[in-house]
């Protein structure tokens, strides 16, 4: 940073001058003398006294003038407030934290008219606070840590709420065109069958094209290649166009060279009909998958504090599994998710928050398996007056030193930058505080089980 064009004027502070400031009013003469000898009285012209992010080198106390405090947020510089109050302070006021203090200023201070400050070096300010007020320092440290944790938890919650609102809006807007596409494809399939019938009415020699041939669909790659080669040769002999494109489709639907009509034109029509049916069927399958994902996203997006309602935890688990990229029994990367559901009663709960719990637990289980993969087993069964959900993985397990603290905030086994340490803390709060249930974990190499118990009829919530 370049030095200001007009360096501020400085002079030495006096004991009596400092005693008039509310911050120092109760200090002894010796303490005031020490501060006066360590700091300076600085007169600054209008402009920035310091900017957010610059090295936090000084603690400033306003003696006279007019200043504005600014903070950078949402991509712009925001003025938090203005004041003329004598004795207000700013700058490196957290220097008492020592090495844990922020390295840079956490806000910016703008001088609005010529102003005078008492300025202490940050190191001196931090030293005298720790030396003179040791108990107060411990209290402030605890308060700061608590506030930081609350802010992070609140911020995480707000982001989830924003994501839920965005997802809900998108699923609603996408749901209508997805449903329209599904209806259109269903009508297209009916029209194609009707068109085939009309063409056969005009050309009676055309055969009825079945939905599937009699030949088994080969699963072995070599046998499949042989079947495709045989069809390519047969289509070539009949003069059908694009045999390399048509042969794989015919093999996929169980047709062999012997199923093709002998007439070249009829054989080409037969192959094209199978190909068109196949494309429409694939589009219909993709459309159904989109609709299913939108339905899952709609359930998943309910992350607000909506009134409690009766829910089937199995449906919420299926939604969470789907949002993670696989239905039950399907692979996620190199891992597989298996479900074992018994008949269970519904529970009274908050849909979105419970879905968030299942997502956190499933994501942790899949992450624990690593790139090598493994098996995640989700079990649901009745247990006394409630429902028990167990999410188990056959990964390496949780470090015994970390296991007792996994539900504490900011405790994570993931690499730096990959986890916040808040997922299990949020799960614990939702299960225990919001739903009056229990959550625990057992872990040994090859078997880690998170177990959640939810009461069927929880006590009424207190406002």
- State the CATH number of the domain containing residue 436: 3.30.565.10
What would the pLDDT profile of 336-368 be if each residue is shown by its tens digit?
Answer: 889 999 999 999 988 878 888 998 899 889 888
> Shortest CA distance to 96 belongs to which of 65, 39, 50, 142?
142
The answer to whether position 251 is within a domain reads yes
The answer to whether position 255 is within a domain reads yes
H-helix or E-strand containing 358?
Answer: helix 351-369
The answer to whether position 284 is within a domain reads yes
d(C-alpha 250, C-alpha 228), whole Å: 8
113 Cβ contact list (under 8 Å, min separation 6)? 46, 65, 66
pLDDT of 10 higher than 80: yes
Task: Confirm whether pTM is higher than 0.75.
Answer: no
- State the CATH number of the domain containing residue 74: 2.60.120.10
Is residue 212 within 8 A of residue 278, CB to CB? The reply is no
Same domain, 71 and 191: no
Number of separate domains in the chain: 3
Instruction: For residues 47-61, give the mean pLDDT.
Output: 94
Which stretches does DSSP call E strand in 87-146? 89-91, 108-121
The answer to whether position 159 is within a domain reads no
Q: Of 275, 297, 319, which one is at a domain's C-terminal end?
A: 297
Same domain, 312 and 441: yes
The answer to whether position 148 is within a domain reads no
Same domain, 224 and 283: yes
pLDDT of 172 higher than 90: no
Same domain, 365 and 281: no
Q: Residue 410 belongs to what domain range?
A: 305-455
Same domain, 118 and 180: no
The residue ranking higher by pLDDT, 224 or 169, is 224
Q: Of 297, 321, 349, which one is at a domain's C-terminal end?
A: 297
**pLDDT over 90 for what percent of the chain?**
30
Q: Of 267, 297, 327, which one is at a domain's C-terminal end?
A: 297
Sign, CA torsion 146/147/151/157 = positive
The answer to whether position 339 is within a domain reads yes
The answer to whether position 149 is within a domain reads no
């Amino acid at each position: 940073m370049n030095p200001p064009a007009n360096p501020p004027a400085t002079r030495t502070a006096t004991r009596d001058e400092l005693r008039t400031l509310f911050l120092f009013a109760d200090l002894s003469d010796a303490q005031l003398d020490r501060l006066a000898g360590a700091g300076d009285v600085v007169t600054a012209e209008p402009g920035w006294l310091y900017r957010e992010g610059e090295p936090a080198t000084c603690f400033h106390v306003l003696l006279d003038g007019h200043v504005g405090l600014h903070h950078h947020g949402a991509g712009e510089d925001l003025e938090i407030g203005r004041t003329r109050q004598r004795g207000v302070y700013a700058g490196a006021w957290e220097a008492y934290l020592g090495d844990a203090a922020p390295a840079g200023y956490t806000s910016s201070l703008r001088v609005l008219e010529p102003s005078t400050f008492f300025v202490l070096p940050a190191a001196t300010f931090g030293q005298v606070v720790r030396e003179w007020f040791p108990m107060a320092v411990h209290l402030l440290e605890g308060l700061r840590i608590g506030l930081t944790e609350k802010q992070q938890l609140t911020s995480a919650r707000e982001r989830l709420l924003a994501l839920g609102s965005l997802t809900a809006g998108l699923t609603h807007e996408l749901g209508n065109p997805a449903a329209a596409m599904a209806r259109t494809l269903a009508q297209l399939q009916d029209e194609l069958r009707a068109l085939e019938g009309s063409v056969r009415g005009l050309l009676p020699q055309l055969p009825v094209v079945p939905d599937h041939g009699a030949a088994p669909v080969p699963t072995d790659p070599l046998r499949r290649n042989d079947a495709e080669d045989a069809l390519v040769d047969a289509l070539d002999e009949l003069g059908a166009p694009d045999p390399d494109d048509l042969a794989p489709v015919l093999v996929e639907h169980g047709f062999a060279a012997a199923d093709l009509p002998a007439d070249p034109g009829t054989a080409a029509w037969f192959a094209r009909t199978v190909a068109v049916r196949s494309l429409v069927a694939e589009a219909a399958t993709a459309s159904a998958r989109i609709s299913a994902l939108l339905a899952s996203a709609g359930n998943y997006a309910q992350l607000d504090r909506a009134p409690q309602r009766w829910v089937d935890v199995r449906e919420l688990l299926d939604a969470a599994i789907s949002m993670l990229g696989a239905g039950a029994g399907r692979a996620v990367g190199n891992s597989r998710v298996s479900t074992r559901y018994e008949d269970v009663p519904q529970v009274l709960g908050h849909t979105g928050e419970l879905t968030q719990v299942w997502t956190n637990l499933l994501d942790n289980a899949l992450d624990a398996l690593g790139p090598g993969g493994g098996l995640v087993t989700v079990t649901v069964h009745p247990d006394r007056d409630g429902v028990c959900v167990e999410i188990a993985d056959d990964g390496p397990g949780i470090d015994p030193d970390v296991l007792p603290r996994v539900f504490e905030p900011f405790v994570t086994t993931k690499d730096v930058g990959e986890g916040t340490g808040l997922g299990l803390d949020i799960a614990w709060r939702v299960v225990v505080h919001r739903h009056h249930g229990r959550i625990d974990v057992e872990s040994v190499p090859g078997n880690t089980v998170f177990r959640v118990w939810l009461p069927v009829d929880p006590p009424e919530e207190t406002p």
